[in-house]
């Protein structure tokens, strides 16, 4: 069995070393496993929630796409696309929005953090909160459920969102599945071995802390950032503690065990921080230099990137389009054409199931009944003196000719050639009578093929 792995990166910034080591590199490694079926995408709809600068959105989409490809993503093996090229995702978002509990979304960490901040500042709790922010987890659930991902590699801050996707998916399955599990339950995949890289100041590397080391922009940018890594004040010659040095942690994330051991030893022996930084730069430049070249080639050919992403979108939609069709069907958004057929099928069934039963009454006269699908009596004939006349009347009723039905108070009578051939009992009211007439007409309606 293949494992479907799916993850997205929000396109609001330029990828940095932390994104690469924490998300892109492990995802590419995972995609090479023989049983992996990977879906990787640019979460550009999510970007709109956080950013209203069109140029930045556009630039970031290009940079993140180029980064994945330069880092070695094989688009023949994986499905690589932009979220916004898959209209089925927005459509599914709505279907899921209609089953997602508001209370569930009230508990989302990101939303709650905004509310807490507002309350603390004495503002309206929802000040500055858009529906995009509030519904962020529903859009993310659609990303995941659309492709029935088994595993979703994410950072710890996203675990709750994957849990919400499970919750919402389960609810949909329960409401509309009719025993079928439309959606697979996804698992968040937190790779323990994967480094959460520290930034220049030692906190988690993140663009919101402004402490990142750029990945592919230029060797000079990388060198400049490295020079700003905060270290302790030990002078060259003094022993350094590798285990409390985030410069060492950064080195470790890209080094072989042998390189790591050598660097550790050198620090213990008093390697100066300036020299240590230059060794870190050399390591990163060796590891990433080739990919940086490729990155700049991709950036210089945006039309090629466009083609690659559109091909990826077409591949993704081969899965999404038919699946969304089934989901629309499940919730009741169905073609009227099929509906007409369905009604005809029911009619046929009713017509087929209806049957005439003839019998002799106590006084020896001949009568017949028309029984509906469930055996309920739709019509009871009057008494005929001879069986032939009764048979003829029932045949004539089945001929498909227009039925002559006349209302008599809350009852009705059925006529053939101006002779009454049957009389109903009195119904409770006119509406019940009309329903009975309708059922009779339906049962006698000629079958259409
Ligand atoms: N919310 C994720 C983040 O900010 C990005 C994302 C969007 C995502 N849709 C996803 C990740 C689906 C995994 C699966 O990191």
Pick from 140, 159, 164 the residue to mutate for probing ligand 1's pocket: most ligand atoms within 8 Å of its CB: 140
Angstrom distance (rounded) from CA 109 to CA 123: 19
- Would the annotation count 19 as a binding residue? yes
Q: Nearest C-alpha to atom 6 of ligand 1 is from which residue?
A: 8
* 246 Cα–ligand 1 center, Å: 27
pLDDT at 361: 85
* 264 Cα–ligand 1 center, Å: 36
| Element of type H or E holding 140 | helix 131-146
Q: Could you tell me if the CB of 44 is within 6 A of ligand 1?
A: no
- Would the annotation count 197 as a binding residue? yes
* 124 Cα–ligand 1 center, Å: 28
Q: Could you tell me if the CB of 83 is within 6 A of ligand 1?
A: no
Among residues 13, 145, 27, the alpha carbon closest in space to that of 77 is found at 27
The 8-class DSSP code of residue 203 comes to S
| Element of type H or E holding 310 | helix 302-331
pLDDT at 342: 62
* 144 Cα–ligand 1 center, Å: 9
Q: Nearest C-alpha to atom 9 of ligand 1 is from which residue?
A: 140
Q: Could you tell me if the CB of 152 is within 6 A of ligand 1?
A: yes
Q: Could you tell me if the CB of 154 is within 6 A of ligand 1?
A: yes
Claim: this prediction has a pTM higher than 0.85: no
| Element of type H or E holding 247 | helix 246-252
> Are the beta carbons of 36 and 182 closer than 8 angstroms?
no
Domains of the chain: 3-100+135-196+301-331 (3.40.50.620), 216-292 (1.10.240.10), 341-443 (2.30.29.80)
* 185 Cα–ligand 1 center, Å: 16
- Would the annotation count 432 as a binding residue? no
Angstrom distance (rounded) from CA 265 to CA 276: 12
Q: Nearest C-alpha to atom 14 of ligand 1 is from which residue?
A: 7
- CA distances to 71, 132, 164, 194 from 19, in Å: 12, 24, 24, 11
pLDDT at 71: 97
In the numeric block, the tokens 């979304």 are attached to 105
pLDDT at 299: 97
Among residues 17, 21, 71, 19, the alpha carbon closest in space to that of 229 is found at 17
Q: Could you tell me if the CB of 84 is within 6 A of ligand 1?
A: no
pLDDT at 97: 98
151 token code pair:
């595993």
**Which atom of ligand 1 lies nearest, measured to the CA of 149?**
14
pLDDT at 241: 95
Q: Could you tell me if the CB of 57 is within 6 A of ligand 1?
A: no
pLDDT at 445: 79
Q: Could you tell me if the CB of 43 is within 6 A of ligand 1?
A: yes
- Would the annotation count 207 as a binding residue? yes
- Would the annotation count 106 as a binding residue? no
Q: Could you tell me if the CB of 61 is within 6 A of ligand 1?
A: no
- Would the annotation count 365 as a binding residue? no
**Which atom of ligand 1 lies nearest, measured to the CA of 9?**
5
Q: Nearest C-alpha to atom 13 of ligand 1 is from which residue?
A: 7
Angle subtended at Cα 372 by Cα 369 and Cα 378, rounded to the nearest 5 degrees: 50
Q: Could you tell me if the CB of 48 is within 6 A of ligand 1?
A: no
In the numeric block, the tokens 């998916």 are attached to 169
Show the low-confidence residues of the chain (pLDDT under 70).
193, 195, 339-353, 446-449
């Amino acid at each position: 069995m293949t494992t479907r792995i799916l993850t997205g990166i929000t396109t609001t910034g330029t990828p940095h070393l932390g994104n690469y080591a924490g998300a892109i590199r492990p995802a590419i490694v995972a995609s090479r496993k023989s049983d992996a079926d990977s879906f990787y995408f640019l979460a550009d709809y999510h970007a709109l929630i956080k950013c209203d600068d069109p140029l930045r959105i556009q630039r970031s989409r290009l940079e993140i796409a180029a980064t994945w490809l330069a880092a070695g993503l094989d688009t023949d093996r994986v499905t690589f696309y932009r979220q916004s090229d898959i209209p089925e995702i927005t459509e599914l978002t709505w279907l899921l929005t209609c089953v997602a509990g508001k209370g569930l979304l009230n508990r989302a960490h990101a939303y709650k953090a905004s509310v807490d901040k507002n309350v603390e500042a004495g503002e309206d709790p929802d000040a500055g909160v858009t529906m995009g922010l509030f519904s962020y987890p529903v859009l993310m659930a659609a990303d995941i459920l659309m492709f029935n991902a088994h595993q979703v590699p994410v950072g710890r801050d996203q675990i709750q969102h994957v849990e919400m996707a499970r919750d919402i998916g389960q609810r949909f399955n329960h409401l509309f599945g009719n025993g079928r599990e439309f959606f697979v339950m996804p698992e968040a995949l937190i790779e323990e071995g994967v480094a959460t890289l520290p930034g220049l100041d030692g906190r988690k590397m993140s663009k919101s802390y402004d402490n990142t080391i750029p990945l592919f922009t230029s060797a000079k940018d990388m060198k400049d950032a490295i020079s700003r890594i905060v270290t302790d004040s030990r002078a060259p010659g003094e022993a350094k503690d590798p285990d409390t040095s985030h410069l060492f942690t950064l080195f470790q994330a890209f080094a072989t065990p042998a390189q790591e051991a050598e660097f550790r030893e050198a620090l213990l022996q008093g390697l100066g921080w300036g020299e240590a930084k230059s060794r870190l730069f050399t390591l990163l430049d060796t590891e990433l230099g080739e990919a940086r070249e490729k990155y700049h080639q991709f950036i210089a050919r945006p039309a090629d990137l466009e083609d690659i992403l559109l091909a990826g979108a077409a591949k993704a939609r081969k899965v999404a389009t038919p699946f969304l069709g089934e989901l629309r069907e499940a919730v009741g958004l169905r073609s009227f054409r099929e509906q007409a057929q369905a009604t005809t099928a029911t009619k046929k069934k009713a017509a087929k199931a209806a049957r005439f039963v003839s019998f002799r009454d106590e006084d020896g006269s001949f009568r017949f009944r028309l029984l509906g699908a469930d055996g309920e009596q739709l019509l009871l004939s009057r008494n005929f003196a001879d069986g032939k006349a009764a048979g003829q009347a029932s045949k004539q009723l089945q001929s498909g000719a227009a039925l002559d039905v006349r209302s008599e108070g809350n009852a009705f009578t059925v006529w053939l050639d101006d002779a009454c051939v049957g009389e109903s009992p009195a119904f409770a009211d006119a509406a019940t009578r009309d329903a009975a007439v309708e059922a009779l007409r339906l049962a006698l309606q000629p079958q259409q093929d």
